Amino acid sequence: MSVSPDYFEQLFGASDDPWSFRTRWYEKRKRELTLASLPRQRYQRVFEPACANGELSVQLAGRCAALLCQDLNAKAVDLARQRLSGLHHVHVEQAGIPRQWPDGDFDLIVLSEVGYFLDVDEWHQVIENTLRSLGPAGGVLACHWLHPIEGCSQDGRDVHAALGERLHLHRLVRHEDADFLLEYWSRTATSIDLAETCQSLPGQ
């Protein structure tokens, strides 16, 4: 079963930064690896569900023309809005996936530290929604903790195994540390930025 919203209420009730996104080197390094794994310099429309307090969101905002962030928890949404204030191309809303999935197409969907908080059926629905919302040159970046989490029916390997089986996309990036797995899938076999670079080389 999915983790109860009360779980996140307790976490954010105790701290504005319950996973120490702002202070731990582990989290800072993971964000930098996440951003470095994006094969395109700029994206048009990006969707980040489960944005928490917006630490990754503010970095994604610098790589896109429009960013939609969601979180199930009201306090997390308030914190993310504060973190992203002044960035007029960013919208933060309270919503929970997969049921409250946004309309329209995206050329990047970021599924970071979210899959194992859902049960298997809900995670499969997220994957279906992702495919339906992904633009013709779109990409999916996923990053998850690999160790078991109390109260979660899946771990990071389960989450990424389902992505690998059901996305039916080209995997351009795979990075595995002792603690987390990061992967990027794309509708195209080569990143747009690399394709543009190759076309501009002499003799091409």
DSSP string, 69-84: EEESSHHHHHHHHHHT
Q: What is the pTM of this model?
A: 0.87
Residue 19 is predicted with a pLDDT of: 61
* Phi-psi category of residue 198: left, alpha or beta, with phi > 0 → left and psi -120 to 50 → alpha: alpha
Count how many residues are written for the chain: 204
pLDDT by residue for the chain (204 residues), tens only, comes to 466 777 667 766 767 676 667 778 888 999 999 999 999 999 999 999 999 999 999 999 999 999 999 999 999 999 999 999 999 999 999 998 999 999 999 999 999 999 988 999 999 999 999 999 999 999 999 999 998 888 888 999 999 999 999 999 999 999 999 999 999 999 998 766 665 555 544 444
Round to whole Å and give the CA distance between 40 and 45: 13
How many other C-beta atoms lie within 10 A of the C-beta of residue 91? Answer: 14
Query: Structurally, how many domains does the chain consist of?
Result: 1
Tokens of 84: 């992203």
Tokens of 26: 């582990």
Tokens of 31: 């964000």
Residue 197 is predicted with a pLDDT of: 55
Round to whole Å and give the CA distance between 132 and 151: 30
Identify the helix (H) or strand (E) that includes residue 134: strand 134-145
Tokens of 194: 């690399």
What are the phi and psi torsion angles at 170 (to 5°)?
-85, 125
Give yes or no for a contact between 33 and 12, defined as CB atoms under 8 angstroms apart: no
Q: Dmax over Cα atoms in the chain, in whole Å?
A: 60
Give yes or no for a contact between 38 and 32, defined as CB atoms under 8 angstroms apart: no
CATH number of residue 82's parent domain: 3.40.50.150
Helix axes 74-83, 5-14, angle to 10 degrees: 50
- Which range of residues forms the domain containing residue 189? 5-200
